[in-house]
Structure 1
């Protein structure tokens, strides 16, 4: 009976600590920061089960998608969700990663798998480039104009005012 009371006492203390930490907001911080682990874990599990020869190669498609999307979500939880305005083409790229893994590791995958992965990766890259160009590209253009103007002003051989 003494071991039973000891175990019950440990459980009561553990529940009390969990309740106290919950009221102090510790779990809210961890959940708010590390929730993408719940997407990363199944993705890595799919990869592990494939490489252990437990599941067929088709699980690499959702595995690659889940791992890539969890990385996107980790970046957004760490650096702010405003980053999603630039990273949204990553969702298309996630499908390309999954399809490419399937093509790479399955000897009998159809050739169309590689073509689909490449097309999606190119579309994702173009959309990412356009997003960067339209959002921060104006700053780049302004800096180039300033540099060209400064070059014309300071490296003018004739040095005549107007």
Structure 2
């Protein structure tokens, strides 16, 4: 009897999860605290969606699995970072929430039928995220803008001057 790909993926996830919990219960490996490990519950479905697509032989008609898979993958990685840093950078990492759907849609475009229409929301979401990070960077550097005046003034005072009529 042939196993369906969805059953194989689900079975594989259960086997890996069960082995991990068993090894942790036998104190062979440490069990991470729930306060640190909770993003894994977002990562597991992301891996499942990706596995479903790639184990299907990368069929273009199943590329839609990559949209939620890509979104959940990016969000879970962000949450792993945030929990590791006690959410101290969350004021600066919020544009990743815009990049998550852009990444999922990009995977759909790349592995799917490469419909040009998908590039519009991908570009808009990525552009807003990059612009937001640029704004954050400029506001941090914004206090230093008088340095431009200083540099221009120094150049005007001491820069190379060409004397008229003299070689």
Q: Which residue of the partner structure matches residue 41 of structure 1?
A: 44
* Unmatched tracts of structure 2, length 5 or more: 1-23, 159-167
Question: Which among 137, 144, 149 is matched to residue 141 of structure 2?
Answer: 137
Q: Indicate whether 1:123 and 2:164 are aligned.
A: no
* Unmatched tracts of structure 1, length 5 or more: 1-16, 157-162
> RMSD of the alignment, in Å?
3.0
Paired with 1:35 and 1:80, the residues of 2 have a C-alpha distance of 13
Paired with 2:38 and 2:100, the residues of 1 have a C-alpha distance of 18
Aligned residue-pair number: 126
Which structure 1 residue ranges, 4+ long, deviate > 6 Å from structure 2? none
Please identify the structure whose Cα radius of gyration is greater. Answer: 1
Deviations 1:137-158 (A, max 9, x none): 346x27x84xx58xx6xxx7xx
Q: CA deviation at 1:129?
A: 1.4
Paired with 2:110 and 2:72, the residues of 1 have a C-alpha distance of 17
Paired with 2:92 and 2:105, the residues of 1 have a C-alpha distance of 23
Q: Do the aligned partners of 1:61 and 1:95 also contact (CA within 8 Å) in 2?
A: yes
Q: Give me the TM-score of the superposition, normalised by structure 1.
A: 0.65
Q: Which structure shows the bigger proportion of residues in helix conformation?
A: 1
Question: Which among 98, 111, 115 is matched to residue 116 of structure 2?
Answer: 111
Query: Which residues of 2 match residues 47-126 of structure 1 at below 5 A?
Result: 47-53=50-56, 56-107=62-113, 109-126=114-131
Paired with 1:126 and 1:73, the residues of 2 have a C-alpha distance of 22
Paired with 1:116 and 1:67, the residues of 2 have a C-alpha distance of 19
Q: CA deviation at 1:46?
A: 0.5
Paired with 1:111 and 1:49, the residues of 2 have a C-alpha distance of 25
